Amino acid sequence: MLIDLSKASPIAETPSKEFETKVLDFIKEWFSESKTVKIQSSGSTGIPKVFDIEKSKMLNSAEMTCDFLGLKEGDLALLCLPIEYISGKMTVVRSISRKLKLKIATTSLNPLENVNEEIDFCAMTPLQVENSLDKIHWIKNLIIGGASVSETLKQKISQTLKTTNIQTKIFETYGMSETLSHIALKQIYPNQEDWLTIFDGIDISLDERGCLKIFAPKLNSEVLQTNDLVEINAKNQFRFLGRIDNVINSGGAKIFPEELEKLVKKEIPNEVVFLGIEHEKLGQKLILIIEGENNEHLKSKIYNLKFEKSFHKPKEIIFVEQIPRTPNGKVNRLELKKLIKN
């Protein structure tokens, strides 16, 4: 289905699927007299919330992304994320704001299956990219959000695209529902950047815990306090270290699981999650969860890795058939803890 939002009156094909109807319903809601739309959070770190967002602020967010990527009127965007969440809604709003043509694809894990034309802009989750590597050369500007991009996936992207002459640019995002999608991007192809670059008009700082504070008056009138531990450089860029509520305290030492996961994912292709499980002497025992069948070779490989600190080596490795995820693809650590305890 294609919706031409470059026209004064959007031209749309007749919807044939429920998802397409939902997209058209949102576009009708957008052009209604209401100054707000309802947004649902993902619930990856707690109970999902529904809240009202001003359309004017969503337009401000859309302009920031379009300006950063250089999108122009008449470009073709692809929507393959759930329209219920901010990620899907903002793809539509960007298309409305910049007068793009919007192609509606499936929200499955292989959304590019039927794509055989050049796409100027698309937002996907890491799992969708993983299943679309043979088609991502069709996309000129691809942003990946919803979860961190593993080192393994970065390598696969590079190996896939380096044999083509296509000028595809791929970015990892940082954002949340309260910031109306992302407020910073980091290029991972063709260049691999270490720091996230924030959009113009946004200020960042640290609280006393070392967690990120965001002041984005065009997006939210309040200073947003996150639980994300970050490092900020002199260029006002930042590097994500991990969520403070994920920090594991083992024997008095603070461990950032996201940093360890990044290290391990450079060595093995499986999804991995480090967790802290209650322990009488240590406070929390560091364990590693690996998605897949029990594999002694993988265990040996991990135990032989050169971790920066000796206490970074997991005390136990557990294999599970499937790691729980939220509807938009994020690892659900709360559910995973419950699964391990059972």
Q: Write the pLDDT tens digit of every residue in 113-153.
A: 989 999 999 999 988 999 999 999 999 999 999 888 888 88
Tell how strand 272-279 and strand 283-291 pair up.
antiparallel
Q: What is the pLDDT of residue 51?
A: 80
Q: What is the pLDDT of residue 198?
A: 95
Q: Which residues pair with 248 in a beta bridge?
A: 255
Using a 10 angstrom Cβ sphere, with 0-12 exposed, 13-18 middle and 19 or more buried, the burial of residue 263 is middle
Alpha-carbon span 283 to 273, nearest angstrom: 19
CA distances from 99 to 60, 72, 104 (A): 15, 8, 15
Q: Is residue 124 part of a domain?
A: yes
SS3 content of the chain, % helix, strand, coil (to 5): 30, 30, 40
Q: Are residues 336 and 251 in the same domain?
A: yes
Domain's final residue, options 188, 221, 241: 241
Residue 107 sits in a domain whose CATH number is 3.40.50.12780
Q: Is residue 221 part of a domain?
A: no
Tokens 């305290």 belong to residue: 249
Share of the chain above pLDDT 70, in %: 96
Q: Write the pLDDT tens digit of every residue in 191-238.
A: 999 999 999 999 999 999 999 999 999 998 899 999 999 999 988 899
Alpha-carbon span 171 to 196, nearest angstrom: 10
Q: Are residues 116 and 180 in the same domain?
A: yes
Decide: pTM greater than 0.95: no
Q: Are residues 276 and 237 in the same domain?
A: no
Residue with more model confidence, 315 or 328: 315
Residue 307 sits in a domain whose CATH number is 3.30.300.30
Handedness of CA 189, 192, 196, 200 (dihedral sign): negative
Average pLDDT for 31-36: 94
Q: Are residues 95 and 118 in the same domain?
A: yes
User: Has residue 42 got a pLDDT over 70?
Assistant: no
Domain range enclosing 276: 247-341
Alpha-carbon span 88 to 197, nearest angstrom: 22
Q: Which residues pair with 12 in a beta bridge?
A: 3
